[in-house]
Amino acid sequence: MCTRVLWNSNDFAVLAGRSMDWPESTEPLIVVFPRGRQRDGGLLVTEVVVPDNPLRWTSTYGSVVTTVYGLGTVDGVNEKGLGVHALYLKSTDVGTRNPDLPGLHTGLWAQYLLDGAATVGEALALMDGVQLVMVGANGHDATLHLAIEDAAGDSAIIELAGGELVVHHGREFTLMTNDPTYDEQLRLLAAQDFSHPSRDMPLPGNVNPVDRFQRAAYYSALLPTPVAERPAVASVMAIMRNVSVPFGAPYGEFGVYNTEYRTVTDLTHLTYFFELTTSPSTLWTRLSKLDFTEGAPVLAIDPYDESLVGDVTPSFAPRHIGF
């Protein structure tokens, strides 16, 4: 479930795409958070999930995010051009709780980094001395791994094994799906050279994470040199559509489900694009037109609102968000 592609090898813009695959609607909202918002990493809305030594912080940066079930953040970008994408990883193991360390539940992991970091390096530093605590939503554990990137094109993949962070940090880590672990994904990718794709190269066509990973590599190697934002974004969105899971092809017993939505983030020009698979319209918002000042209201739109189309920046309205 889910795929992330980073395009950081062109001279026009750093762009990141992701797909969200899930067995049901995640009830997404696109939310604008201002600076100065106080957070509690031990609260899942009103439920205390980290009763001992929860991590608490105040947001340094404003962000535009996509929420999941109204309980946390699964995708987004902040005003400094840091992008964060949470994808499912069944093997995630947060380890045994150590109350000596501030606890952060996995539903707020992505938001914590968006709130406090301007670069990938700063985001990784924020994890020092912090312990992640597993939570669930709608009967599903938030067994997540993160892909993060910044406006300079730096990248990192972060996973949890035995309670320890496993970090792949570097511009070369541009692709990510789900299981198996990222080490194994890289070994599978190395088994076939996709750096010189051709029409004669056999290409995996299934919807499982391994096949999607390899297709993402193949089409990423074919990306044309961008000259403007629209074709650049369209290039990444085309890959995300190619690695999406179509309706009628989910295999729940294997953890593969249809795609609910896709996003593309332009980290250079600070524009966030969102495409719901049940809508013919692509939505976008430009962060430069949003008010992130401390004390500004939290704003949101519901992407399932069929009246929304194109630039939805003026359509955001105040909304209570419980985290």
Question: Which residues have a catalytic role annotated?
Answer: 2
Nearest CA among 260, 269, 298, 302 for reference residue 283: 302
By three-state DSSP, how is residue 111 classified?
A: helix
98 burial level (CB within 10 Å; 0-12, 13-18, 19+): exposed
Neighbouring C-alpha atoms within 13 Å toward the C-beta of 75: 26
The C-alpha angle with vertex 322 and arms to 260 and 25, in degrees rounded to 5, equals 15
- State the alpha helices, DSSP H only, in the chain: 109-116, 120-126, 182-190, 209-220, 229-242
Nearest CA among 189, 187, 69, 81 for reference residue 136: 69
By three-state DSSP, how is residue 303 classified?
A: coil
If you write DSSP's letter for every residue of 64-78 in order, what string do you get? EEEEETTTEEEEEEE
Number of DSSP helices (H) and strands (E) in the chain, helices first: 5, 24
Question: Are the C-beta atoms of residues 12 and 226 closer than 8 Å to each other?
Answer: yes
Distance separating the N- and C-terminal Cα atoms of the chain: 25
| CA atoms 88, 308, 313, 266: torsion sign | positive
By three-state DSSP, how is residue 21 classified?
A: strand
Question: Are the C-beta atoms of residues 260 and 247 closer than 8 Å to each other?
Answer: no
